[in-house]
Amino acid sequence: MKRLFAMLLSLALLAVLFSGCASQSVTEEPPAAAETTPAETPAEPSETVSSVQDGTYTGTAKGYGGEVTVSVTVSNSRIAAVEVLSHSETAGISDAAFATLPNAIVEYQSIAVDTVAGCTFASTAILEAAKEALLSAGFTEAEISIVPEKAAASSEKITKTADVVVVGAGGAGMTAAATAAQNGASVIILEKMPSIGGNTIVAGSGFNAADPERQKQLTMTEAQRTLIQSYLDLEPQNELMAQWQKNIRKDLEAYDAAGSTYLYDSADLHKLMTYSGGDYLAKAELVDTLCDNAYASYQWLTELGATWEEGIAAGLGAVWPRSHTATSAFGSSGGNFIIPQKQVVDAHNGEILLSYTAKELIVQDGRVIGVSGVTADGTEFEITANNGVVLATGGFAANVELRQRVNTIWPDLGKNVPTTNPSSSTGDGILMAEAIGANLVGMEYIQLIAIGQPDITPLIDNTISVNQDGLRFVREDGRRDEICFATLEQPGQYFYYIYDAHMIVDILGGKNTHGLIIDDIVDDKTLFKADTLEELAEKMNIPADTLLNTVNEFNSYVEAGGGDPLGRSTFSQKLEKGPFYSVQARVRVHYTMGGVEIDEEARVLDTNSDVIEGLYAAGEVTGGIHGSNRLGGNAIADIITFGRIAGNSVSK
């Protein structure tokens, strides 16, 4: 792991950073930032300060994953070097802070440097630790807190040209860029953050795709067979849906004739569940395209180097076990959906421009020919595309004003409702496309998720959800909106996920979504661990007898393969293998289903349903793929599948 982190950090130091630097989903305020307000008329630090002693000093501060320790070398009463000695932050998420802040402190002889956008926890920890070390060396706070003067913006506009310009360096953008590069196109990627990754780098790692080989290792329960039948009994909404149902019936006839018992799945069942799971409000043609190509997208990503946990599971809100769980081989699970594509872009001499904020799409004679905007220092840029522009700027879950404006479903989506998304998820690409006449669809459909803090990958398997009384209150394999509405009805609007070692150790390998060792982040405040269920209940302050009875009832449904009065159909193993864990879960804004309308070739459509020449889109910036509710695990399948389609379309 250390060697992997060193490799990633080296890449970051080469100035093409791939971390999402996202603010992890939190309910607590981040650690207090280093004090950077100078005196009214600060004096420049003198060349020699009598109280400062040369030498090497260390300081420690709390980051997201634990303590961050920094060493500071002082020579001739000046800061000569700053080095991060140890930390528990997630590689691939906070690397930009570690790569840039130590050098900035040395360059400006101050801890009053700007934090790295999105890397709140890591940045604050580095600055606090450096401050502690410098104070122990004899510096005064005023001497190390002088605010550096910012470089003035260049008056000369930056201009560049490539065959393909991609706006956004998250999973969809990196996939589109890698695909276009593989097709021989020259590529420029614009990213407003100081590192790549976007929302994808902090993703929960589930990738939905019907996978006959993995699913044949599982046995289909009677409850699951009944669930399939309930989908076949639905009234067809159109010819496509009727065809999906017809194909599934034919498959099941052959399945029964062969005496099969494995877990059945197919692209058509994936389509039917996705379409009905979004209340038939998705564009059926896009659902067809997504599910037909999901497994090929999974294979493509695997060929590029993505790695996966053994077996297959059901992610939270997935409604069926078809979720492939990424490992943390690239520092975090989300790294699997970013780093392999970046390596392709690098190999084909693609250019990644960080801290480039796109403001407008350039249109000439009705065709999109490029993008204009500003860099971090305010310098204007204009990037021209020979073939076209791909919008991959993500959704707007972090844009409180926009989500409140379009919300018609949830009681409140104001600033008091946190988001799992990074601060960069503000819907920029949606607004840019709308400004040139693109059609927006489904903007009111905003998905919430009930997720723990600290976050543990929310797979279903043998996980259960209990309220403060120790009782299950919702089927854990239900839709996300169903689970969230039920959560908001609980006292305090929270509940607890209950896990055992089968999930934490056997499936997750002891690590959470961000690559943190779960045992290291147990705090007995919101994340608990105990050898027995009785001890776990005591730590959670819920009735032990009730929790034991709840678990025993659940285990009886596992044995029977069904019979749950709440309607759960996904059962794997009993919840009985110690140690046991629980994490408090609350509702957060997670995904925005609405956005720019596209066709099956990822071409953006205008308000008259005509193609806007030269403009393509992929990922959460688009709408119409998931309808009113996205199934858990479908987002990664979406961004990779339509990212590849956009990359192929624009490079033709």
> Is there a catalytic annotation at residue 586?
no
| 348 burial via Cβ count (<10 Å: 0-12, 13-18, 19+) | middle
The residue with tokens 């695909």 is 179
Return all residues near 615 (Cβ < 8 A) that are at least 6 apart.
361, 368, 388, 389, 391, 433, 436, 438, 603, 604
Cα torsion 96, 102, 107, 108 to 10°: value is 100
What radius of gyration do the chain's Cα atoms show? 25
Within 8 A by CB and 6+ apart from 216, the residues are 262, 263
- Strand 494-499 versus strand 580-592 pairing type: antiparallel
Closest CA to 339 of 558, 15, 573, 16: 16
Q: From start to end of 213-265, where are the E strands? A: none
96 in Cβ contact with 201 (< 8 Å)? no
* Cis before 454 (ω within 30): yes
Measured CA to CA, the distance from residue 307 to residue 340 in angstroms comes to: 10
**Nearest-angstrom CA–CA distance, 480 and 635:** 13
Distance CA 189, CA 191 (A): 7
Query: Quick one: CA dihedral 371, 646, 403, 435, positive or negative?
Result: positive
What is the distance of C-alpha 572 from the center of its chain?
Answer: 26
Structure tokens at 638: 């979406």
Q: Where are the beta strands (DSSP E) in 494-621?
A: 494-499, 527-530, 580-592, 595-597, 603-605, 611-617
Tokens of 524: 């007995």
Q: What are the Cα distances from residue 55, in Å, to 27, 101, 105, 206?
A: 40, 20, 17, 48
Encode burial over 593-617: b for 16+ CB neighbours within 10 A, e otherwise: bbbbbbbeebbbbbeeeeebebbbb
Q: Amino acid identity of 321?
A: P
Catalytic pick from 479, 480, 568, 603? Answer: 480
Element (H, E) at 60: strand 55-62
69, two tokens = 């320790």
Distance set, CA 18 to CA 84, 339, 599, 646 (Å):
19, 7, 30, 21
For 3, other C-beta atoms within 10 Å of its C-beta total 7
Q: Please, are residues 452 and 458 in contact by the beta-carbon 8 Å criterion?
A: yes
Q: Which letter does DSSP use for residue 470 in this model? A: S
Q: Are strands 595-597 and 622-623 parallel, antiparallel or unpaired?
A: parallel
Token pair 């140890």 in the structure block, residue: 86
Give catalytic residues, as residue numbers.
480
